[in-house]
Amino acid sequence: MKLAIVFGGSSYEHEISIVSAITLKSVIKSHKLEFIFIDNKRDFYLVDSKDMKSNYFSSKEYLKSAKKLSIVKGGFEAKGLLKAKSLDFDVALNLIHGRDGEDGKVTSLLEFFNIKYIGPRVEASILSFNKLYTKLLANSLGVKTIDYKLLSKDDSRDLDIEYPVIIKPLRLGSSIGVSIVKSADELEYALDVAFEFDNEVLIEPFIDGIKEYNLAGAHSKDWNLSIIEEPQKEEYLDFDKKYLDFARDERVSEANISDELKEKIKNSFKKIYKPLFNGAIIRCDFFVVDNEVYLNEINPIPGSLANYLFENFDNLLNIVATNLPTQKDIKIDYLYINSIQKAKGKA
Amino acid sequence: MKLAIVFGGSSYEHEISIVSAITLKSVIKSHKLEFIFIDNKRDFYLVDSKDMKSNYFSSKEYLKSAKKLSIVKGGFEAKGLLKAKSLDFDVALNLIHGRDGEDGKVTSLLEFFNIKYIGPRVEASILSFNKLYTKLLANSLGVKTIDYKLLSKDDSRDLDIEYPVIIKPLRLGSSIGVSIVKSADELEYALDVAFEFDNEVLIEPFIDGIKEYNLAGAHSKDWNLSIIEEPQKEEYLDFDKKYLDFARDERVSEANISDELKEKIKNSFKKIYKPLFNGAIIRCDFFVVDNEVYLNEINPIPGSLANYLFENFDNLLNIVATNLPTQKDIKIDYLYINSIQKAKGKA
């Protein structure tokens, strides 16, 4: 299969998307890869496989040597001397983390231009990108989440809360703008930081030493679930740590927990996934408190697609790519307009 | 102001979007208008104002005489003999009802290509296009909604429900695929109809003679709310009726209800609108039972933008267009990649 990996984007996570793409280049063995880079100006470039190194982007070398692409019906094309040349691939893979990739924008482009892709659909993007909507969704599906308070930029900061708390911008991943606040005198600064990235923030109780478990997977005909990992973390994963996380390519070992707890985590994953996330390989991060499973967050495009959690990642890509959701074909027959014209005596 | 009205789309409501655009042509007096038509193949066409008649589209005349457009950074352009000519306008107006327009797709295109537009943003689109998410949103904001049962195509149809009920495809507007079911023997057929349009349907109790009130508006600096209308309806608005609704251009009179109830309806509208729907002119349809207000649905792009409910529609467009939400400018400095390279001794 020929996969076109789309990465970059106008996103705070632009750089980790580059790292993610470079990682997948080394991980994916049995598929042919094309690399489509979206730069900070939202221009598309076709990057040669040999140029997939981080300094090719940080030095802006791509501006000189990568071919510019346009998105067109069914795919991408590069301007040729006489006529445009279209890029040859079977399926695109949305690997843009954060804005553009996970907020439904690039997804919408791919849908609108009728390009087959692996990745969350628009609804799935919005419901996972916004941490409040994730909670509403999970709760409606019978999956528990941590209590929260939503605060807008203009709201009073005179809050009645019990410390410690964790402050999160409503719409970012990768721990950007996230702070743990241990007492009231640290609150102001933490809110300032979070409001740098979003006009709304979530405040949640911070439970030190809480057990966290990650599970990735996809459903296409059958369930393809990864092993359950207990991520190694200190106080919590900060951006630098998570950043390195995006470059992971070595398999990890399964969390040492009871089969019963594994089953609970898997069931929660399945409730969240289907049918909303069809077509995507997602990773859900769960907390466990008193043997109860809580959804912490949904990563609809996890770092390097959480490849390190799967036995046979190439095969998973194949399964997902051959069972993608399709758009309904809507026939427009102008019956209504014709009937109105008839009524008016114009037909 | 020069407005570019974007209409059509690959949508079951394609035809009513055409009617909506034709209506706005006659309603909008003080702005210059351009008309951008998206046909069922999702090609863009620039339609001359004199051709804005329904049979220009139903006869496919536009294929011969309208200029084809491409969406490009900052706007739209038509191929010229020597170089592409860009379309001159200040703000686009998303007037595509249903799929493409209200599901975040065209919105995403406009955002991605950095085109200013009046209309719901992507999150607002998803939360109003999907009737279940509308309920979750409303309830989280303290606005009541009608009880429901969600049914998927593959679920058992052996339901324990009290008749009459109303069956609605989860994601369509304009009453398409909606049925009132009065007894168990009518259920099967009604579900078949609804599942023609969506893989998930909502089942709600049908309350005959329920009072319905519509309120439209926008918030930009201040609230700009319309009058409250009590729509005239028979059993319920069917598609043909609603279809005509999209062509409405005559002002209606205000519902004859107490000031207290008006205030309740306005407060519910405000809770729903802000900040999610900033940039859009929306219409909310409410039910009132025992003096309690329930949100029935949010129309993020109502038929002919509910112009008939406003005192000065041209002025409203002006206010909204000059107070649009903006995208955050994200600076990409490659600090992380540079620091990694430094650590590796490559910088």
User: Which of B183-187, B317-321, B334-338 shows the lowest per-residue confidence on average (mean pLDDT)?
Assistant: B334-338
For residue A347, pLDDT beyond 50: no
For residue B296, pLDDT beyond 80: yes
- Which three-class secondary structure state does DSSP give residue A208? coil
Contact B137 A136 (CB under 8 A): yes
Give me the residue from A15, A105, A112 closest to B336, CB to CB: A15
Contact A58 B100 (CB under 8 A): no
Residue A317: in which H helix or E strand, if any? Answer: helix A313-321
Contact A292, A260 (CB under 8 A): no
Which of A58, A342, A344 is the best substitution to test chain B (most B C-beta atoms within 10 A)?
A: A58
- Digit-coded pLDDT (tens) for B65-116: 999 999 999 999 998 777 889 999 999 999 999 999 999 999 999 999 999 9
Looking at the complex, report in whole angstroms how far the Cα of residue B261 sits from the nearest Cα belonging to chain A. 27
Q: Among the residues of A168-306, which ranges form H helices?
A: 187-197, 239-245, 259-273
Q: What is the mean pLDDT of residues A180-196?
A: 95
Q: What is the ipTM for the molecules in this complex?
A: 0.93
pTM summary value: 0.94
**Strand (E) positions, chain B?**
2-8, 32-38, 44-47, 67-72, 75-78, 85-86, 91-94, 117-118, 144-145, 149-152, 165-169, 179-181, 200-205, 211-220, 222-229, 282-289, 292-299
Looking at the complex, report in whole angstroms how far the Cα of residue A262 sits from the nearest Cα belonging to chain B. 26
- Using a CB-CB cut-off of 8 Å, the residues of chain A touching B200 are 275
For residue B47, pLDDT beyond 80: yes
> What whole-number percentage of chain A has pLDDT above 70?
94
Closest by CA to B45, choosing from B27, B54, B57, B33, is: B57
Do the bridges between strand A91-94 and strand A117-118 make them parallel or antiparallel, or are there none, so unpaired? Answer: parallel
Count CB pairs under 8 A between chains A and B.
Answer: 141
Q: What is the pLDDT of residue B287?
A: 97
Q: What is the mean pLDDT of residues B183-191?
A: 95
Q: What is the pLDDT of residue A42?
A: 97
Which of B39, B245, B334 is the best substitution to test chain A (most A C-beta atoms within 10 A)?
A: B334
Q: What is the pLDDT of residue B341?
A: 74
For residue B299, pLDDT beyond 80: yes
Contact B337 A18 (CB under 8 A): yes
For residue A234, pLDDT beyond 60: no
- Using a CB-CB cut-off of 8 Å, the residues of chain B touching A15 are 332, 334-337
Residue A109 amino acid letter: L
Looking at the complex, report in whole angstroms how far the Cα of residue B45 sits from the nearest Cα belonging to chain A. 15
Q: DSSP letters along B204-265, please?
A: EE--TT-EEEEEEEEEESEEEEEEEE----SSS--HHHHHHHTT--S--PPP---HHHHHHH
For residue B175, pLDDT beyond 80: no
Q: What is the mean pLDDT of residues A216-237?
A: 85
For residue A235, pLDDT beyond 80: no
Mean pLDDT computed over every residue of chain B: 92
The rounded distance, in Å, linking the Cα atoms of B342 and B347 is 5
Minimum Cα–Cα distance from A114: chain B residue = B42
- Using a CB-CB cut-off of 8 Å, the residues of chain B touching A55 are 337, 341, 346
Q: What is the pLDDT of residue B346?
A: 52
Looking at the complex, report in whole angstroms how far the Cα of residue A179 sits from the nearest Cα belonging to chain B. 19
Q: What is the pLDDT of residue B217?
A: 98
For residue B33, pLDDT beyond 80: yes
Give me the residue from B57, B105, B330 closest to A112, CB to CB: B105
For residue B260, pLDDT beyond 50: yes
Looking at the complex, report in whole angstroms how far the Cα of residue B188 sits from the nearest Cα belonging to chain A. 22
Q: DSSP letters along A160-200, please?
A: --PSSEEEEETT--TTTT-EEE-SGGGHHHHHHHHHHH-SE
Contact A111 B105 (CB under 8 A): yes
Q: What is the mean pLDDT of residues A71-90?
A: 91
Q: What is the pLDDT of residue A318?
A: 97
Q: How many residues does chain B have?
A: 347
Q: What is the mean pLDDT of residues A182-198?
A: 94
- Using a CB-CB cut-off of 8 Å, the residues of chain B touching A335 are 15
Contacts of B125 (CB under 8 A, 6+ apart): B102, B103, B104, B107, B300
Mean pLDDT computed over every residue of chain A: 92
- Digit-coded pLDDT (tens) for B211-256: 999 999 999 989 999 999 998 765 444 555 555 666 777 778 899 9
Domains of chain B: 2-118 (3.40.50.20), 126-144+209-321 (3.30.470.20), 149-205 (3.30.1490.20)
